Amino acid sequence: MNEYKKAGVDVEAGYKSVELIRKHVKKTMRPEVLGNLGGFGGMFMPDLSKYKKPVLVSGTDGVGTKLKLAFAMDKHDTIGIDCVAMCANDIACSGGEPLFFLDYVACGKNHPEKIEQIVKGVSDGCVMAGCSIVGGETAEMPGFYPVDEYDLAGFCVGVVEKDEIIDGADIKAGDSLIGIPSSGVHSNGFSLIRKIFGDTAEDLKKTYKGITGPIGNELLKPTAIYVETIKAINEKYEIKGISHITGGGFIENIPRMLPKGLKPTIYKGSWPMLPIFDVIAGEGGIDEASMYGTYNMGIGLVLCVDKAYSDKIAREFNGYVIGLVDNGDGIDIK
């Protein structure tokens, strides 16, 4: 074991990490979880009695180069929320209920206190999404990652009644599009952001007009988790389709929920634009089409609903009617 430590892998640090994260994992426990943290496989026994035809829904994702900002700012307690959000939101877009989550952390050197902060964020995200952490892996990989860096990815499984899957099949021309606000940039487009603002501690301490505090704090705001919002709306109104605005922004993601032959028409100015997107565009000299093709522009989720109750949903759930469904292909933003 001493020879392994000389090679850069500290098994004792791994044991300490597991002990430190136990209390955070415990916060996420649902009654369906079997076994304890540390087993070879996570076990979950769902109660499927309320489903006639249960369908499992899964999602996996990472956080991307937003991690570089966490490294520079030495802030690791919220990046796990981003990881959960990227997986759980996708499951909720089909009408699914997230059940359990597993995380994977790969690092150059296992710093137990840092691992604890990462998993604390994952735990907080799972509490928001209503799912349990049933397992995970921390891989110490010296020589592969720098000693102060890591990668983070997650995997989530949920369930939905087959006849209640939200798949966009009933969408028609004239339906309304409702935007639910984002918390900020979320977890996409950070390679461009790092090119514009830099990714050193000094870079991220700078301030910009319209942004309160250092730019790094604004950019590191965690991705909003929409699981409870979708559930609450779906219990009262029919949601025909949902788009999670991630990589590809408006241009790629909104058309994905529409049947062939239909396109979204989005009306700029129908929601309040978050200041961070004006700063990104201005500082980077980014044209409007590229902004809408990369970022969420202040809207993290777009719902397609019948026009008859779109205004009610927007008022009740702090959203905005941002457009409608038209005949055609592609997307119009005007």
Looking at 115, 130, 164, the residue that finishes a domain is: 164
User: Would you say residue 138 lies in a domain?
Assistant: yes
> What is the count of structural domains for the chain?
2
- What integer is the mean pLDDT of 207-215? 97
Asked if pLDDT for residue 6 goes beyond 70, the answer is no
pLDDT digits (tens, 9 = 90+) for 187-206: 999 999 999 999 999 999 99
**pLDDT for the residue numbered 4:** 67
CB distance 47 to 145 below 8 Å: no
Dist CA 154 CA 88 (whole Å) = 10
Instruction: Print the domain residue range for 18.
Output: 2-164
User: Would you say residue 64 lies in a domain?
Assistant: yes
Domain identity same for 84 and 182: no
CATH number for the domain spanning 69: value is: 3.30.1330.10
User: pLDDT-derived band of residue 219, with 50, 70 and 90 as boundaries?
Assistant: very high
pLDDT digits (tens, 9 = 90+) for 90-137: 999 999 999 999 999 999 999 999 999 999 999 999 999 999 999 999
Q: Where are the alpha helices (DSSP H) in the chain?
A: 2-6, 11-26, 67-73, 79-92, 112-129, 190-197, 201-204, 215-219, 227-236, 249-256, 275-284, 288-292, 310-316
**C-alpha count within 13 angstroms, C-beta hemisphere, residue 204:** 19
Looking at 164, 192, 225, the residue that finishes a domain is: 164
CATH number for the domain spanning 221: value is: 3.90.650.10
Domain identity same for 191 and 120: no
User: Would you say residue 169 lies in a domain?
Assistant: no
